[in-house]
A and B are shown apart, each in its own frame.
Chain A
Amino acid sequence: GAGVSQSPSNKVTEKGKDVELRCDPISGHTALYWYRQRLGQGLEFLIYFQGNSAPDKSGLPSDRFSAERTGESVSTLTIQRTQQEDSAVYLCASSLARADEQFFGPGTRLTVL
């Protein structure tokens, strides 16, 4: 694949429902990041995966948020019992190694009604 892909591109859900967002990183990239970007704001780090090491979950805002990654492939970000303040664009990025250039996906726009 040419770049990082994310699905769905848009997701509208009702408050209290669970959602799952998917990220396909660039093949061979060992590092994968999830960010949240609220309207008109900068990037908020959520979670970081590096190869088979334990992920850095220090940015997850609550225990309703979780993410998984199998090896160096696809990652899913799950938000349980969504709240209206979860509405944002969720961005995924991958890089060859940490501190290297990050390549971003187009994002998933999540709207919680």
Chain B
Amino acid sequence: AQSVTQPDIHITVSEGASLELRCNYSYGATPYLFWYVQSPGQGLQLLLKYFSGDTLVQGIKGFEAEFKRSQSSFNLRKPSVHWSDAAEYFCAVPDSNYQLIWGAGTKLIIKP
């Protein structure tokens, strides 16, 4: 069965520092891959998605993610975080029935 793993429950970074959130999946074929963000008091919003083509995907709010087939990973990155990036981040992959399987989420804490 397909699965999505976000190994870090919490990550704390200083404002202005770089960020990488990890996502690993198990899937037979090349998957579609999504990153969503859930900000406090707000709904889930799509950050970026990979369907095919260039393995480096640009998203909103300065985020990017790289699909690495050999590592079954789709890590989310940002070169310099802002306090407003404090939120929970979810990675998701559709299963064989095209239902999204969600990671458990990584909570990002920004130190001033």
A12 touches B (CB below 8 Å): no
B44 touches A (CB below 8 Å): yes
Q: In the bound complex, do residue A106 and residue B43 qualify as a contact, i.e. CB atoms below 8 Å apart?
A: yes
Contact of B32 among A41, A99, A105, A107 (CB under 8 A): A99
Residues of A within 8 A of B44 (CB): 43, 91, 93, 102, 104
A56 to B95, CA, bound (A): 13
Q: In the bound complex, do residue B90 and residue A43 qualify as a contact, i.e. CB atoms below 8 Å apart?
A: yes
Q: In the bound complex, do residue B43 and residue A104 qualify as a contact, i.e. CB atoms below 8 Å apart?
A: yes
Q: How many residues of B contact A (CB 8 A)?
A: 18
Count of A-B contacts with CB under 8 A? 41
Spell out B's residues near A (CB within 8 Å).
Answer: 32, 34, 42-46, 49, 90, 94, 97-100, 102-105
Contact with B along A26-63 (1 / 0, CB 8 A): 00000001000000011101001000000010000000
Residue of A nearest to B32 (CB): A99
Residues of A within 8 A of B32 (CB): 99
A99-B94, A101-B49 as given contacts; A43 in contact with B102, CB under 8 Å: yes
Smallest distance from the beta carbon of B36 to chain A beta carbons, Å? Answer: 8
A69 touches B (CB below 8 Å): no
Tell me the chain A residues, 58-83 only, with Cβ under 8 Å from chain B: none
Contact of A56 among B43, B94, B99 (CB under 8 A): B99
A48 to B90, CA, bound (A): 19
A15 touches B (CB below 8 Å): no
Q: In the bound complex, do residue A42 and residue B105 qualify as a contact, i.e. CB atoms below 8 Å apart?
A: yes
A93 to B45, CA, bound (A): 11
A43 to B93, CA, bound (A): 13
Q: In the bound complex, do residue A105 and residue B43 qualify as a contact, i.e. CB atoms below 8 Å apart?
A: yes
Smallest distance from the beta carbon of B39 to chain A beta carbons, Å? Answer: 12
Q: In the bound complex, do residue B104 and residue A102 qualify as a contact, i.e. CB atoms below 8 Å apart?
A: no
Q: In the bound complex, do residue A98 and residue B99 qualify as a contact, i.e. CB atoms below 8 Å apart?
A: yes
Q: In the bound complex, do residue A102 and residue B100 qualify as a contact, i.e. CB atoms below 8 Å apart?
A: yes
